[in-house]
Structure 1
């Protein structure tokens, strides 16, 4: 029977579906695979379900001329932790789970926008610390999102879902920057440059894939272009933002605030960010809803089933 390894425990429903088709092993730890574990996974299993943090680099694939593993059915839409070209050169297919994560990730973007603009994290800390002295007219004054301009960096599935929520839900004006113009079902102005977008918006939301092309896309120059009241929201990948430059911008008051679900060196979060009141920090929960994680896992299983049935997986990278 085909042997499959899940590198982290996935929801029970997903494990049951995988066991119906495969000889399944579930690694009990929640930490990323070590180098030795990755090599063992490739040599001992026919298929592997990796996820964020399992760094299948070119060096990993190059350790052997041929591997038993034939497919990496990634659990997640982002796959920048896998060197796809090196995998394919080793005869290993790679799939992902697009679509399942779109709405959940967009919802967290709006959560961060609201929390950051309305200073919700700061307010909750005040209450929990027993320091709230009661309502008064000028307490914790934040920014109202209605009627403001949101800038979306990367207008793919997730970027469009965020933009729809902003336009239809909050009456926000939408602007965006992407590699090519998009045909959209809502009004949106495309900006030719990222700097032009950053300068024109009240909230800048990052919804681009991870990888070399977007590494430090948001640097000191982009942050300098933003308005002093503007907020930066990142639900993409942590290294899309140059974290040191963001800390400087926040510390010096050059932007109004930030809402982060991802970090450049996860799970490490700089103490400087933790100490700032004008930053909302979430522990990478963009897709953390049971039904969403089940959908993602079942999509990974379907990719495996199709592949081992001799068919093209529905989500081949």
Structure 2
């Protein structure tokens, strides 16, 4: 008999088919407004939930599902899953570290290059007939200092792309220095920002990293520095960033994630020294296949009486 699986995020039809072929009865409800009602309807049945870090699963949702055994986060993040509530019930929580790391690192470098070289604004100017006006002097990338906030799997891949591809010196800040790392460790975010020409945010989201990049960090990055965020929008103080960009206290920014997404502040959209993409850094066919594959492996391990592959501690 198929195992009831409640999916509270958007999922492609191919993904649904893979889950069903793996032995799960899939019920999908990505709409936040309808989710509470849907969970009540699924309550007697659901034994597993598929979510992601941005959507999560609240303590109330967990309490409403008495037969829930496992929560799987699609991708590395799990910051909005109530781990305490899950732990109290003995519910297993898994995530997908590394499954989309290469794709996200590629996107980070694409944003970095586009911001530095002014590619988006140059393209728009040429399309408007402003060929001559678009031929501005823009910073080079090779040899510039690359700072990485959060040296996890993704941060490490960004570091290697910058170092090997562009000869960039690399420094990083994490909660602790990584033993054996090839890169320079700096003990605070501000020191990292002051050192960097490009500061890439690659740290997890959640309460402990909220507004880690604040006004002081942006001032340390300075008027020639660029901020790139492929992590979580909550890590950057959006109001402080808007002010810094508007006043020229940083040179530019490129964001794949924004606080409160998909609602973007009009003040941010109106700036010409920022590039915005709609949280797509991890969206590639190869990454999607690997990420869902790990979810299926974790689900099958759990319901087969084996230890899951990638538990959240």
TM band (smaller chain): over 0.9
* Match in the other structure for 1:145: 141
SS at match of 1:34: helix
* Match in the other structure for 1:5: 6
Deviation at 1:29, TM superposition (A): 5.1
Q: Are the structure 2 counterparts of residues 234 and 307 from structure 1 closer, same or farther at C-alpha, using a change threshold of 3 Å?
A: same
CA distance in 1 between partners of 2:69 and 2:9 (Å): 19
Deviation at 1:11, TM superposition (A): 4.1
* Match in the other structure for 1:182: 178
Deviation at 1:21, TM superposition (A): 3.2
Gaps of 5+ in 1: none
Asked if 1:67 corresponds to 2:62, the answer is: no
Asked if 1:265 corresponds to 2:263, the answer is: no
CA distance in 2 between partners of 1:53 and 1:193 (Å): 26
CA distance in 1 between partners of 2:41 and 2:205 (Å): 26
* Match in the other structure for 1:214: 209
State the superposition RMSD in angstroms.
2.0
2:130 to 132, 146, 151: 132
Q: Are the structure 2 counterparts of residues 263 and 32 from structure 1 closer, same or farther at C-alpha, using a change threshold of 3 Å?
A: farther
Q: Are the structure 2 counterparts of residues 84 and 288 from structure 1 closer, same or farther at C-alpha, using a change threshold of 3 Å?
A: same
Could you tell me the TM-score, scaled by structure 1's length?
0.91
Deviations 1:60-100 (A, max 9, x none): 33x45x71111111111101121112112123211111111
Deviation at 1:290, TM superposition (A): 1.1
CA distance in 1 between partners of 2:235 and 2:33 (Å): 20
Q: Are the structure 2 counterparts of residues 290 and 168 from structure 1 closer, same or farther at C-alpha, using a change threshold of 3 Å?
A: same
Could you tell me the TM-score, scaled by structure 2's length?
0.93
* Match in the other structure for 1:20: 21
Deviation at 1:131, TM superposition (A): 2.8
Asked if 1:302 corresponds to 2:297, the answer is: yes
Deviation at 1:44, TM superposition (A): 2.8
CA distance in 1 between partners of 2:272 and 2:12 (Å): 35
SS at match of 2:243: helix
CA distance in 2 between partners of 1:58 and 1:26 (Å): 20
CA distance in 1 between partners of 2:204 and 2:39 (Å): 23
CA distance in 2 between partners of 1:155 and 1:222 (Å): 18
Asked if 1:79 corresponds to 2:75, the answer is: no
Deviation at 1:133, TM superposition (A): 3.0
Gaps of 5+ in 2: none
* Match in the other structure for 1:167: 163
> Which structure carries more relative contact order (alpha carbon 8 Å, separation 6+)?
1
Whether the 8 Å contact between 1:41 and 1:69 is mirrored in structure 2 is no
Whether the 8 Å contact between 1:198 and 1:225 is mirrored in structure 2 is yes
SS at match of 1:73: strand
Deviation at 1:41, TM superposition (A): 4.6
Asked if 1:201 corresponds to 2:199, the answer is: no
* Match in the other structure for 2:104: 105
Q: Where do residues 112-123 of structure 1 align in structure 2 (5 Å cutoff)?
A: 112-123=111-122
220-229 or 156-165, which deviates more: 220-229
CA distance in 1 between partners of 2:39 and 2:206 (Å): 20
* Match in the other structure for 1:36: 37
221-230 or 239-248, which deviates more: 221-230
Asked if 1:314 corresponds to 2:306, the answer is: no
